[in-house]
Amino acid sequence: MARRALLTGITGQDGSYLAEHLLSEGYEVWGLVRGQANPRVSRVRKLLQDVQLVRGDLLDQGSLISAVEKVQPDEVYNLGAISFVPMSWEQAELTAEVTGMGVLRMLEAIRVCSGITASRGSASGQIRFYQASSSEMFGQVRETPQTERTPFHPRSPYGVAKAYGHFLTQNYRESYGMYAVSGILFNHESPRRGAEFVTRKVTLGVARIKLGMATELRLGNLEARRDWGYAGDFVKAMHLMLRAAEPEDYVIGTGRTQSVRELVEAAFGAAGLDWERYVVCDQALHRPAEVDLLCADPKKARTQLGWEPTVSFEELVAMMVEADLRLLAGGGDPDQDSSWP
Ligand code: NAP
Ligand code: G4F
């Protein structure tokens, strides 16, 4: 029998790559979709034709219980979230509800459907649970590089909500003996990355300037440093975590760090452009509290899971610039369903 996976966040970047990976591993894949007429659902239907869809929302406990009852998954990957950090200041309560409380609702759905109570663990095979934790939890970092043992100091309502979900996942593992793990993932990008995040904003900006569709690119803090990897590599780590013998949390990143300025140089350079002629620094795009530096120590994932990133920062930037040049030159719209390579 094929193993069955239920993914929240199927319409997002990671959901798409993880679904493709699990399908290639022989899984039956189900995606949770929300809303009455969510335009991103048609993109999923087009790109991921073998994925089955079930309705539900991380804000709605009953819908998650119904989804778990219907799908009867072996594995649940909770990727759904308000994931754009600046939005978490503008809609802090919604972020807490979706990104934080959504984890509680998903864990409860699994617990209730599995018949697990404080005094009785799961009778039959356990549903394994993956939580999409984030390096944003490290925030104002206490040490570099960051490991599974580095203390958290989140700097945004998003980071705080992720920390809640992270500790809750650990707590359900300890309280109920559930196979529940968190992947503390550092920034990962791809041609499917949302246009609001800095890598894609830059590669789309480069493509627009190269094609004569724009004359400048407005950015915020160029000095922030991130550990950027390729999303296609990172989703494989999620799967490896749920197939491990013991439920444990892992840091997933490349171990290299670059500044936004270096990202900009690489992206404009990949299109043969001099970034200093086009980039405008805009104070309005700076954040109320910044995370200055993130850099992973992925040693545990390497030694225990055998996970290694395969795409370098330079290859990733070139891949994204090329994809955006192709998209825009072909008349594509980054916000439309046809746009995912
Ligand atoms: P993304 O592209 O922004 O996708 C977010 C997903 O969450 C979308 O599918 C969205 O669905 C869904 N969602 C939003 N509100 C929801 C709700 N109320 N109920 C159910 N689903 C909801 O994010 P991503 O980059 O793929 O990241 C996946 C996960 O990893 C997120 O939890 C993110 O916080 C976390 N993470 C990402 C990174 C990274 O660098 N990419 C790093 C660390 C952690 P709709 O289409 O319905 O809005
Ligand atoms: O691309 P970003 O918006 O990603 P950020 O804030 O690091 O968050 C991403 O990674 C997290 C993991 O560490 C995830 F949990 C989260 O869901 C998301 O996927 O910004 C990266 C850096 C920041 O320091 C920001 O201040 O780029 C800087 N930046 C400079 N100018 C900009 C801009 N960011 C954006 N989005 N837009 C700008 O114009």
State yes or no: is 250 an active-site residue.
no
Give percent above pLDDT 70 in the chain. 97
The band of 340, judged by pLDDT with boundaries at 50, 70 and 90, is confident
Which residues have any ligand 2 atom within 6 Å of their CB? Answer: 83, 85, 134-136, 186-187, 196-198, 201, 219-221, 224, 226, 260, 285, 287, 290-291, 294
The band of 176, judged by pLDDT with boundaries at 50, 70 and 90, is very high
pLDDT at 338: 63
Ligand 2 center–CA 215 separation, angstroms:
23
Q: Where are the alpha helices (DSSP H) in 248-289?
A: 260-270
Q: Is the pLDDT of residue 237 over 80?
A: yes
Which of 105-119, 284-298, 316-330 shows the lowest mean pLDDT across its residues?
A: 105-119
Ligand 1 center–CA 277 separation, angstroms:
34
Mean pLDDT of the chain: 96
- Alpha carbon distance 132, 144 (integer Å): 21
Q: What is the pLDDT of residues 65-101, one digit of tens each?
A: 999 999 999 999 999 999 999 999 999 999 999 999 9
Contact of 309 with 248, CB cutoff 8 Å: no
Q: What is the pLDDT of residues 127-165, one digit of tens each?
A: 999 999 999 999 999 999 999 999 999 999 999 999 999
pLDDT at 284: 98
State yes or no: is 93 an active-site residue.
no
Q: Which one from 28, 75, 136, 265 is the annotated catalytic residue? A: 136
Please report which ligand is nearest the Cα atom of 81: 1
Ligand 1 center–CA 13 separation, angstroms:
8
Q: Is the pLDDT of residue 337 over 80?
A: no
For atom 27 of ligand 2, the residue with the nearest CA is 198
Please report which ligand is nearest the Cα atom of 67: 1
The band of 336, judged by pLDDT with boundaries at 50, 70 and 90, is confident
Q: Is the pLDDT of residue 123 over 70?
A: no
Which of 114-118, 178-182, 261-265, 321-325 shows the lowest mean pLDDT across its residues?
A: 114-118
Ligand 1 center–CA 104 separation, angstroms:
16
